[in-house]
Amino acid sequence: MHPDGKHGVDDKKATTGLAEAVVVASNGAGCPKAIFFDLDDTLAASFESPSPEMVGKVLAVLDRMPTSIITGRDFPWMARDFLPQIAGSPHIDRFYVFPEGAAQCLQWNGSDWFELYGESITDAERQVINSAILESVKETGMLEGLPIHGEQLVQKKAMVAFAALGMQVPADLKYSWDPGNVRRTKLRDAIAKKLPAYDVMMGGATSTDVTKKGVNKAYGVRWLSERLGVHPSDMLYVGDALYPGGNDYVVVPSGIVTRATTGPAETLKIIDEVLAACATQT
Ligand SMILES: [Mg+2]
């Protein structure tokens, strides 16, 4: 949080103070200068861990280029789950983690993860957001008659996520409760109307994410572009929700090259293609 209360997205000071030159390999067709991976339904199934095979592939990509994971998930979970395996890479200095939809960026310094930038919301802001969500649920009647499995309001550092059916929702219900996102669109619109100072976006299969305006994955892409001195058009973004309304779609206007995936199985193939394209370059 900036002392003046602004979130810093349009504040050049937030990035120029951190900018430093990083030498990257020359680019060519098919071999990007840097790569971003979404996590949920790209590197791993929603709310699950990436497989050991996937972690191995990410490490192989990191051997070739700056590599980032950019996700709506929160950092403490990743730090416990699979990041320790990546921290052992000899190229860890070019690995970036953008949790909470790029509200933060972290790097490993050899003994700990440290923040390169970090947005947060205050307790007072949380109260306003929580109330707006709960009122919208009531007004729209969106969840009437549906079973709720566990906590619905998930408090992250810079985001409130509303898991409509609860965090412990069974997998079959998670993907079947709202065909065509009809209920969730109605809820999203109701929340957005109450919170004009925030972005309200559909996240995973059941969730609606509320963040400060402009604190999203596009912010992370632009931030890294500036830090590395690499234009977005020389970088690749791999995600499952690159369609309009999807939570990866916001990166498209940055000019970054995008590659849509249907899930971890296809992502493994995409990574192999990238590695093959880069192997032809020295
Ligand atoms: Mg995803």
Distance 240 CA to ligand 1 centre (A): 5
pLDDT at 20: 29
Tell how far the Cα of 275 is from the centroid of ligand 1, in angstroms. 22
What distance in angstroms lies between residue 41's CA and the mean position of ligand 1's atoms? 5
Ligand 1 centre distance from Cα of residue 282 (Å): 32
Distance 246 CA to ligand 1 centre (A): 8
What is residue 5's predicted lDDT score, i.e. its pLDDT? 38
Dihedrals phi, psi of 140, to nearest 5 degrees: -80, -20
pTM of the model: 0.78
The rounded Å distance from CA 4 to ligand 1 centre is: 33
Query: How many angstroms does the Cα of residue 122 sit away from the middle of ligand 1?
Result: 27
- pLDDT for the residue numbered 192: 94
pLDDT tens-place string over residues 10-38: 333 333 333 323 323 233 358 999 999 99
Cα 53 to averaged position of ligand 1 atoms, centre (Å) = 19
Q: What is the pLDDT of residue 73?
A: 87
Domain ranges of the chain: 31-119+215-279, 123-212
pLDDT score of 245: 65
DSSP letters for 20-37? -----PPPBTTB-SEEEE
Which architecture does CATH list for 123-212? 2-Layer Sandwich (3.30)
Residues of the chain with pLDDT under 70: 1-29, 204, 245, 282
pLDDT of 32 reads 97
Domains 31-119+215-279 and 123-212 share a fold: no
| CA of residue 38 to ligand 1 center, whole Å | 6
pLDDT digits (tens, 9 = 90+) for 30-89: 899 999 999 998 999 877 899 999 999 999 999 999 999 999 888 999 999 999 999 999
Ligand 1 centroid vs 146 CA: distance in angstroms? 24
- CA torsion sign for 179, 207, 69, 105 is positive
CATH node for 31-119+215-279: 3.40.50.1000
